[in-house]
Structure 1
Amino acid sequence: MESDGSDRRVVVVVVPAAGTWAPPGRNPDAWRLAMAEDTYEVIAALDRVDVAAAVAGDENAVTEVRALTWPGTPTYAVDPDRPVLHAVELAGPAAAVVAVSHDVPDLPGLLIGKLFRALSNADVAVTPAEDGTLAAVGVKLPVADWVVELAPTFDTPLELLEARKPRRHAVAIGPGWHRLRSNADLARLDPGLEGWDATRSLLRHA
């Protein structure tokens, strides 16, 4: 008997279709894909979740992102204006979906588990980033009307979510983390921490 998705949990790594910021001397596209690969590997190692990858923008970039994933990982293009909710829609039947920004290659997988637990009571659960953006956005299904209307992205300020929530516990805030979006962010990477191999390799070789 097939599951109706009522207990299914999905994590989607969302990757922009073009290079964004990169450290000096590094190719922006190579940097984007290295971080995406490491972020995907963190998610793929989690237990009891289904994993997917989404490309925000040009469908031609889906192929290069698919090449970073394990065979059989769903990989698809999403609307760059509403990447989180479009990724949720394409994830299929589920109890909850967590969308993760591509630029958190050293994210502890434990933080994703905290978001899923929080979604038992909240409509949205987030991992705030130190720069005021969001490293991950979890959404309970079916998606609440106010979440559909707001269509949060990784750049949605936490203050806006808090201001728009219809009840006290509609938004759950998990432990914070850091996205790699500036030279200052690179100082947060822990060389002694296992993982983030592709990002580490690019940093070592200009």
Structure 2
Amino acid sequence: MNASLDRRVVVLVVPAAITWAPPGRSPEAWRQALAEDTYEVLAALDRVDVAVAVASPPPSASAAASGADPLAAIAALTWPGTPVYSVDPARPVLDAVEKAGPAAAVVAVSYDVPDLPGLLIGKLFRALSSADIAVCPAEDGTLAAIGVNRPTVDWVTAAAPTFDTPLATLENLKPRRHAVAIGPGWHRLRSLADIARLDPGLEGWDATRSLLRGA
């Protein structure tokens, strides 16, 4: 039996850099804290392979030698053996899906959901048994996670969804009623107001919690 027929992959997608952070924190420290916590959520999932994609062109040799390699900083946050690779910033989700290797389905997850319940990822994989694409909508109108069936069908390839693609756009493009599955929603941390959604009593998101406390 072809193992790829049963293989499921979840890919954390991280931007090479961000421009915002809570007051008194650097954007780079904030990016790394969010990415680390979201990665830990994914790494704890059962029966899936985990990879990390950084939305940046591959670094030049001189950039890597100078320590300016955006992949290296993120790779340092992962468990040994986790694949970490560059993806095209213009199509980060589908590039991450394609580079994940042979699989029955791949779920790409935005880096800024450090308190995401792992159960929501499982729901996307289950939805992909009948849908071409399954999404976890974010409260701000964007998408927190995007699941894609493999091989990727033509209309999804043409749509090239990203985490900023409005759900309405996918609904308008879908060729049949159940081509797009909508999972439970969640929240992304994209502004200072979003931090209020973090539940201090919820376990996890340790790196984000420490940074917010100033540790």
Measured against the shorter chain, the TM-score band is over 0.9
Aligned residue in 2 for 1:56:
55
| Aligned-partner Cα distance in 2 for 1:97–1:165 | 19
TM-score (norm 2): 0.93
Aligned residue in 1 for 2:10:
11
Q: Is the 8 A contact 1:35 1:104 kept in 2?
A: yes
Q: What's the offset of the Cα at 1:98? A: 0.2
TM-score (norm 1): 0.97
Q: What's the offset of the Cα at 1:49? A: 0.2
Aligned residue in 2 for 1:138:
147
Aligned residue in 2 for 1:88:
97
Amino acid at match of 2:150: L
Q: Is the 8 A contact 2:136 2:182 kept in 1?
A: yes
Amino acid at match of 1:184: A
Matches within 5 A, 1:67-82: 67-82=76-91
Q: Does 1:153 align with 2:152?
A: no
Q: What's the offset of the Cα at 1:22? A: 1.0
In structure 2, the residue corresponding to 1:135 is in which secondary structure? Answer: strand
Amino acid at match of 1:172: A
Aligned residue in 1 for 2:35:
36
Aligned residue in 2 for 1:22:
21
Q: Does 1:121 align with 2:130?
A: yes
| Structure 2 gap ranges (5+) | 59-68
What CA deviation, in whole Å up to 9, does each residue of 1:73-101 have, x standing for no partner? Answer: 00000000000000011000000000000
In structure 2, the residue corresponding to 1:195 is in which secondary structure? Answer: coil
Amino acid at match of 1:118: A
Q: What's the offset of the Cα at 1:67? A: 0.3
In structure 2, the residue corresponding to 1:71 is in which secondary structure? Answer: coil
Amino acid at match of 1:8: R
Q: What's the offset of the Cα at 1:58? A: 4.2
| Aligned-partner Cα distance in 1 for 2:15–2:30 | 12
Q: Is the 8 A contact 2:13 2:52 kept in 1?
A: yes
RMSD: 1.0
Aligned residue in 1 for 2:66:
none
Q: What's the offset of the Cα at 1:183? A: 1.1
- Percent of matched pairs sharing the same residue: 78
Q: What's the offset of the Cα at 1:21? A: 2.0
Question: Which portions of structure 1, spanning 4 or more consecutive aligned residues, are displaced by more than 4 angstroms?
Answer: none
Q: What's the offset of the Cα at 1:24? A: 1.3
Amino acid at match of 2:125: F
Q: Does 1:196 align with 2:205?
A: yes
- Count matched residues: 205
| Structure 1 gap ranges (5+) | none
Q: What's the offset of the Cα at 1:174? A: 0.3
Q: Does 1:171 align with 2:170?
A: no
